[in-house]
Every structure is written in C-alpha cells, then in structure tokens.
Amino acid sequence: MILEQTKEMAAFHRLLQDFVANEVKPFAQEIDEEERFPLAAAKKMGEIGLYGIPFPKEYGGAGGTTEMYALAVSEIAKACATTSVVLSAHVSLCEAPIFEFGTKEQKEKYLPKLITGEWLGAFGLTEPNAGTDASGQQTMAYLDGEEYVLNGSKIFITNAGYADVYIIFAMTDKSQGVKGISAFIVEATTPGFSVGKKEKKMGIRGSSTCELIFENCRIPKANLLGAEGKGFGIAMKTLDGGRIGIGAQALGIAQGALEETIRYVKERKQFNRSIASFQNTQFQLADMNTKVEAARLLVEQAARAKDLKSKNLAYYAASAKLYAAEVAMEVTTKAVQLHGGYGFTREYPVERMMRDAKITEIYEGTSEVQRMVISGTILK
Amino acid sequence: MKNIIVCVKQVPDTTEIRLDPVKGTLIREGVPSIMNPDDKAGLEAALRLKDQLGSTITVITMGPPQADEVLKEALAMGADRAILLTDMKFAGADTLATATALSGAVRKLDYDLVITGRQAIDGDTAQVGPEMAEFLDLPQISYTAGIVAQKDGSFLVDRKVEDRIYRLKVRTPFLVTVLAEGYQPRYMHVAKLLEAYREPKIEKWTAADLDVDPANLGLKGSPTKVNESYSKALKSEGKVYELDPAEAAKLIAEKLHEKYVL
C-alpha cells in the first residue's frame, strides 16, 4: 500500500498507472509467449518522458528524482517485467554513465536522442569468461591514430539488436589488470560491430538478450567514455545505479504477483467458501505483503541514496537489489502455489511472474555479489 | 489558428462512485476528481491543432482552489496557459451562470476557437458550451468528433450524431463542443508534469477580473432551481418475445397467471 504522496508524486503515479493499463498490461502475455521485443511500448515510454526522469532539462530530461524513476520501473514491472527492463537498461546502464562520466560533447550528442527514445541504449560488460569476475575482460581495444580498434565479444546484452548506442568495456592495457579496462560509446551502425546469437530464456522472454561481436570495430577517440583505464570503476558505479532499477523491477514483479493473488483468492471457492477465508491464505498473504513493503522501503532508500550522492550508494543499492530479488522469487512462487493448478497454467500471469523473477537474482550482479558488497561494507 | 481556448471542468470520477445502499445517495467521499472526459477530448483536439498549426492553448476552469489540479494536468499534456476562475461569487452557479462567467473570461482573451466538452459526467446537461456560443455570439458546432484545417483558412468540422456525421465548413472565430469518442487524449509528459507542479503558472481570476455583470454570477444568476432529487428506481431488464398475435396473447395470459394477476 502506497503511503500518502505529494500531489506531484500522486499525479506522476496516476500517469504511470494509466500508461501501464493501456500500453503495457494488455501486451504482457503475448510478448512473453511470442518472445517479442515490446517495441511499441519502448517508443511510447520515450514519448511520455520516462527515459528522461532523473536527468536535467538541458538534455531534455524532466529534472525528476531517482525515486520517481524507481517508481516508474516498478509500476511497469507489476504488469510486465520485460518492458520494465527495457526502461531500466536504457536509463541506468546507458544514459546514466554518459550523463555521469561523459564529456559535454558526448552528453549533448547522445542524451537528447536517448531521452526522447529516438535512440535506444544498452550496456556491454559481460563476456563468456567474464561474468561475476568482470575484471577478466578479453575484449581488446588499441589506439590507432584517431580511432580505437575493438575486437572481441560480449554476451547476455539486454536491448541488443534494438539499441542504437552501446556502452562497451574493453581492455586497453592488459598488463594493468582492472586498471587497463576502458569504456567506450559504440554506435550500432559502426562497421565491425554486429549482433550475434539471441538467447532463449526462461523469463523476461520479450527482452532481447544477445551476443555482441566486435571485429576490427573502429571507434572515434572522442567516444572514449571517461579516461583510459577508468572503465572498471565506471562499470561498477553504473551497476550500483542499475541495481536500483533491478531492485525496483523485482519489487514490481512481487507486487504484481501479490495483487493477482489477492484478487484470485477472493474469487476462488473451495469447500463452499472463498479460499481467502482460510487462515493459511491470510497468513501467507500477510507475510508476502510485509516483505513487499520492506523491499519497497529498501528500494526507496537506495534511490534516495543516489539522489543524495551518498558515498555508500553501493551498499544501499546492493541491499535493495538483494532483498527485493529474493522477495520477488519467494512471493511469485507462493503466488503460484495459492493459485493451485491454475497458477501453473499460462492462463494466469503468476507463472510468468515466477519465471521473470528469477533473473533479478542473477543479472546486474548475482545475489552472491550483493552479499559480497554488503559484507564488504559492514566489515570494513 | 493562433489562439485556442479550452474550457474544462473538474468532476468526480463517476465510474468510482458507489450508492449508499440504505440512503440511496451517492457516496462522494474518497472519490477521485478527474478532468471531465469530453473536456479532455476537447483539449486533445486543441493539442492536435497546436501540433499542426503552432497554436497557443489557454485552458480555463471555474471552481474551488483545488480545481487547479485539472489545470496542472492540462499543462502537463501540453497546454500553454491556465486560468482558474475562483471566487465565492461564482458558487452555486447553474449552467447559465457558469456560461456567463466563462464567457466573461473568454472576452478578456484573444481567441480564434473556443472548445468545450459536450457535457460533464456529473451533470450531463450539455448546456454550457452552447450557452457560451450565444453569449459570445459565435457560430457553434456541437457533438464535434473531428476538426481539419483547410488551405483557405477555414475548417471542416465533423458533427457526429447517432446515425450520421455532418461535415460543416466554418471560419474562425467559432465554438465547438467535443465528444470524448472523437479524440483519444494523449498522456501527460513527465517533464511538463513536473514543471506544472514545481513552477506554478496558474493565473487566478476573480469575478472582478471578468467582463460580466456580477448580478448574473453564482447562485444569484442561476434561474435553475432543483425541485427534488431522488435515485432512479432500477427496473430489471425486460424480455422481448416475437410471436404471432394469438401465441403472444396466450403467453401474456400465462405470465399474468404466474404473477397471480389473473
């Protein structure tokens, strides 16, 4: 249950609810069944300004807060986790690093078109041999005159194939280890860049997850993001912000499953009474609901930490993502159980929500990585 | 088409109103207020003309101070200017006094087109727009479902009635009352929404700011007197039989027997 909101937040929330009811929810099932990228919703999110929420007006943004951005992600995820990750990857993983680490020229070139949705963004860090250990980058980049030449590949890249702009990490000096990693802004039209195999996934099936291939892909020097050798720090700070988005997504999935279940248990009758009248149902729902509320507070706290430029953002974001993701998995699993046999069928959305929830424990840092970040902070 | 004025009304969302089962009255408490759907469609009509012709849109509402919420929504959708007519002297206005006040505000502004919704979901009178057209001496087209600019500066306006559409040609200035079904309103834009809430630019006008005789405003200027209001008794759905007269007569007799009338 949402606490009383300011008039501004309430109006923003109404806009989101309206948008989700008309443009997201009606298509959630079919984009999952057909593994279809939600292209129409992706365009419309740009048209109504969702891609510009936390960025200043000078780049076409709304000058809003991370808390508003998190509310947008979770409200969309309530109905469709696939659509919410399009938003989260675009904003947190592409726009945010350009805004935070880009030059004035880079911001002016990329942000306005990303904010309107004319361009879609993505982020490429993970490689076949560099997952949780992101320091093991094998994609290489060397400077040749006024251009960097990239060679290598990335896997599991969200928005791949639909994105126009990618933030890509590559080794510019292997002898330096993580200090030899640099970040680049790569446009999809660059010769030598191509999109490879599309993954067949368990959940968020409408989201496009593909391999990226770089074969002598020449990037103008001006597209180096941050200084050479600063890529690993940029990746980690970007993921701190991204985890707020994924925490919000997990929260939304959990809340969506809870709302579906509340509706269902009131309608479903067994032993001549609604199953909502059984104490087992009531207590399960009370526990699920309490965990969702707690997850919301953690996500809101992490969002505020970002707005306040907290030096402990990594800790707050990791806590929010860890907890919200585990709550999403637990609540969606219980939602399927409370739906009984119907919950296992694709007639009801809870089985999709359960499949979608799993990825929130894995991407943008597994739950184990979040535990490393949290314990690393509190044991310091 | 340089200037468009759109009149909007804040109404209770009647889809969320429930009846008190004992008293039979409307439970208004906790019912959200919304922009009247026909008015919102009217604003969308104005915004489409703005997209095409670069017009400036001024939105006007008459109501208590909290009616500024619908003006903020209008600004968030893309209106340029918003005026709230708010004064105790406006209270208790019927459609005539409302149209008097709104026309008094419109007279103070430049306009080529005045748009109102066809009718409000809380009153369903459909009188304010046409009354304004009379006060302002403007040609009026009610039940509008489409407005298309012509090369010669005129406009083709579709008036949609039950079984047909009249396509009417009109020159500015004119007034239309718009149907919700004619225009799917756009969403608010996040950046404009925050601007509307953070940099309030709603102008507040009182009775003194209007070009109107104060005697014609509010309760004093309202000839409509509500005699009695009561809930409609709900009748169950009837059933239609298509039978020969002889069989029909037999059926009627049977039904009357069932009810112990015969």
pLDDT tens digit sequence for A345-365:
999 999 999 999 999 999 999
- At residue A342, the pLDDT reads 97
> Is A48 close to B198, i.e. CB distance below 8 A?
no
Residues A315-336: what's their mean pLDDT?
Answer: 98
Per the model's pLDDT, the better-predicted residue between A131 and A299 turns out to be A299
Look at the block and give the residue holding tokens 């039989």. Answer: B241
Flag if A49 and B69 touch (Cβ within 8 Å): no
Residue B233 has pLDDT above 70, yes or no: no
For residue B234, what pLDDT is reported?
Answer: 67
Give the mean model confidence (pLDDT) for residues B91-112: 94
Mean pLDDT of the A197-202 span: 97
A165-171 and A121-124 strand pairing:
parallel
Residues on chain A touching B192 (C-beta within 8 angstroms): 49
How large a percentage of chain A has pLDDT more than 70?
100
Nearest residue to B9 (alpha-carbon basis) of B175, B88, B127, B162: B127
Q: What is the reported pTM?
A: 0.90
- Measure CB to CB from residue B187 to each of A18, A53, A62 and give the nearest one: A18
Does the beta-carbon distance from A62 to B188 stay under 8 Å? Answer: no
How far is the CA of B126 from the CAs of A299, B100, B117, in angstroms? 48, 15, 8
Provide the annotated active-site residues of A: 364
Q: Which residues on chain A are in Cβ contact (under 8 Å) with B198?
A: 8
Task: Give the mean pLDDT of chain B.
Answer: 91
- For A230-275, how does the pLDDT look when each residue is reduced to its tens digit (9 = 90+)? 999 999 999 999 999 999 999 999 999 999 999 999 999 999 999 9
> Which site among B72, B184, B187 would you substitute to test the A interface, given the most A Cβ atoms closer than 10 Å to its Cβ?
B187
Residue A307: count other Cβ atoms within 10 Å of its Cβ: 15
Which residues are CB-neighbours of B68 under 8 A, at least 6 positions away? B82, B84, B200, B202
Closest CB to A7 among B187, B188, B197: B197
Q: In which band, very low, low, confident or very high, does the pLDDT at A303 lie, cut at 50, 70 and 90?
A: very high
Whether the per-residue pLDDT at A218 is higher than 80: the answer is yes
Is the pLDDT score of A296 beyond 90?
Answer: yes
The pLDDT mean for chain A works out to 97
Query: Looking at the predicted structure, is the pLDDT value of residue B229 above 90?
Result: no
Q: For residue B148, is pLDDT > 90?
A: yes
Is the pLDDT at A327 greater than 70? The verdict is yes
For range B25-40, the mean pLDDT: 84
B24 pLDDT more than 90: no
The pLDDT of residue B257 is: 87
Q: Do the strands B174-178 and B113-117 form a parallel or antiparallel pair, or are they unpaired?
A: parallel
Lookup: tokens for A27: 């298509």
Q: Which residue has the higher pLDDT, B219 or A246?
A: A246
Average pLDDT over residues A81-94: 98
pLDDT, position B262? 76
Instruction: Report the residue of chain B nearest A14, measured CA to CA.
Output: B188
Structure confidence at residue B14 (pLDDT): 79
CB-based contact B191 A19, cutoff 8 Å: no
Shortest Cα distance from A173 to chain B (angstroms)?
Answer: 42
Asked if pLDDT for residue B20 goes beyond 80, the answer is no
What integer is the mean pLDDT of B185-197?
Answer: 96
* pLDDT at position B30 over 90: no
pLDDT score for B247 = 92
Residues in chain A, total: 380
Asked if B68 reaches chain A (Cβ–Cβ under 8 Å), the answer is: no
